[in-house]
Amino acid sequence: MEKLKELIQNLKKLDYKNMYSNDFFLTWEKTDEELKAVFTVADILRQMRENNISPRIFDSGLAISLFRDNSTRTRFSFASACNLLGLEVQDLDEGKSQIAHGETVRETANMISFMADVIGIRDDMFIGKGNKYMHKVSESVQEGYKAGILGQRPTLVSLQCDIDHPTQCMADLLHLIHYFGGAQNLKGKKLAMTWAYSPSYGKPLSVPQGIIGLMTRMGMEVTLAHPEGYDVLPEVENVARKNAEISGGKFIKTNSMKEAFENADIVYPKSWAPFAAMEKRTNLYGEGKFEEIEVLEKELLNQNANYKDWECTEEMMKLTKDSKALYMHCLPADITGVSCKQGEVAASVFDRYREELYKQAGYKPYIVASMIFLSKVKDPVKTLTEIIDSKPPRFLAK
């Protein structure tokens, strides 16, 4: 309970008033203090649950989820977060064919939101589309709210778009903050966000992009490593470059995995698809050229196969700081000899970091809950203090 009071004191010092009644799309659209508020409230909500204090602020209310890509982890994180706050998740199982017209987005968004407090969307597959779609949804329900159609303004939380994966990357960073004993200890740390080989293809770019866009704000030295041709969105590289400048960190690019691992404190080896290829694929989908997509997929798999040595092996780990950098992954990882013949990471490396990986993932429900909390509650310090003082039990028989 002392810890809780301290966290509330920290929250008091931050300016995050613009988060109220607002959406969460990209981490770099938020100020440093706003991100700190998200971390602080996430820690508070976790402490409350661990002390059997229910942070339920809704007696009833809906949270709409829309997953345009398969999801287990994020789906359960969103469900957990909403349940914790008292919202019931209703999944919009949208046929892919129904989304062709802007009109339909506007209409559907309003039709499902008459009693919705939050909308969570995952739309990460098509370059140039996901983030735009989310904005369209948000604008549509704002219009609906202003016109008196909706009784409340549903706020939007991006559960992964084509540009960023904010709930993942924020959970990753909160893990780092706790692992290294505070945000101040991240200054100067070396993080290697590197490409890794996978026998599957076409994995979204939002994690590497989100990581370089977020971690460069912490004064870290962030290296983005990938084989030639596996570039991420140039706009996001610019964000990373600018962030590093401001924070006193560094943003380095290289085509050598070894260079990135050299003396790294943290490594994040993960497969992704080249953004240029994904853009081409998006266009082919738009044109309905499915045969050409198949050709493209084969090309990409062949291209991948040239870089099978981009694996996080024990040898690679030895290059890192004292041979024991923190290994990170958003999961599920392609583990050599376990989930595939050859993949992103050696089984022994993965196993050694399993608990840390699970802890990393465990922050996500609280990050999501925190984002929702800050977008819905006008005076978070007041509300949290009141709840903590009255101690409503989450589990009545503890």
Task: Kindly indicate which of the ranges 22-30, 98-106, 219-227, 264-272 contains the residues binding its own copies, using the contact rule CB under 8 A.
Answer: 98-106
Q: Does 110 bind its own copies (CB under 8 A)?
A: yes
Query: CA 208 to CA 172: how far, in whole Å?
Result: 12
3-state class of 179 per DSSP? helix
Strand partners, 251: 222
How many CB atoms are closer than 10 A to CB 348? 13
Binding mask 115-144 for its own copies (x = CB under 8 A): xxx--------------------------x
Task: Kindly indicate which of the ranges 110-118, 126-134, 232-240, 291-299 contains the residues binding its own copies, using the contact rule CB under 8 A.
Answer: 110-118
Strand 62-67 to 116-122 pairing: parallel
The total number of residues written for the chain in this structure: 398
With CA atoms as reference, report the closest residue to 332 among 360, 309, 313.
360
Query: CA 102 to CA 91: how far, in whole Å?
Result: 20
DSSP state of 74: H
Q: Does 112 bind its own copies (CB under 8 A)?
A: yes
Q: Which two tokens stand for residue 261?
A: 């691992």
Task: Kindly indicate which of the ranges 9-17, 85-93, 180-188, 208-216 contains the residues binding its own copies, using the contact rule CB under 8 A.
Answer: 85-93
Task: Kindly indicate which of the ranges 195-203, 273-281, 299-307, 358-366 contains the residues binding its own copies, using the contact rule CB under 8 A.
Answer: 358-366
Closer of 57 and 278 to its own copies (Cβ) = 57
With CA atoms as reference, report the closest residue to 137 among 169, 105, 159.
105
Q: Does 41 bind its own copies (CB under 8 A)?
A: no
Query: CA 328 to CA 270: how far, in whole Å?
Result: 9
Q: Which two tokens stand for residue 48?
A: 């409350």
Of 2, 228, 291, 355, the one binding its own copies by CB under 8 A = 355
Under rule CB under 8 A, which residues in 64-83 are in contact with its own copies? Answer: 72-73, 76-77, 79-80, 83
Q: Closest approach of Cβ 264 to its own copies, in Å?
A: 24
Per-residue CA distances from 397 to 80, 245, 276, 349, 370 (Å):
20, 52, 56, 41, 26
Q: Mention every residue, 6+ apart, whose C-beta is less than 8 A from residue 159.
A: 65, 67, 71, 74, 78, 120, 121, 122, 167, 368
Q: Does 200 bind its own copies (CB under 8 A)?
A: no
Of 10, 21, 90, 263, the one binding its own copies by CB under 8 A = 90
Q: Does 256 bind its own copies (CB under 8 A)?
A: no
Q: Closest approach of Cβ 348 to its own copies, in Å?
A: 13
Q: By CB under 8 A, name the binding residues for its own copies.
A: 46, 49-50, 54, 56-62, 72-73, 76-77, 79-80, 83-86, 88, 90, 92, 101, 103-104, 107-108, 110-112, 114-117, 144, 147-151, 331-332, 335, 338-339, 355, 358-359, 361-362, 364-365, 376-379, 383, 392-398
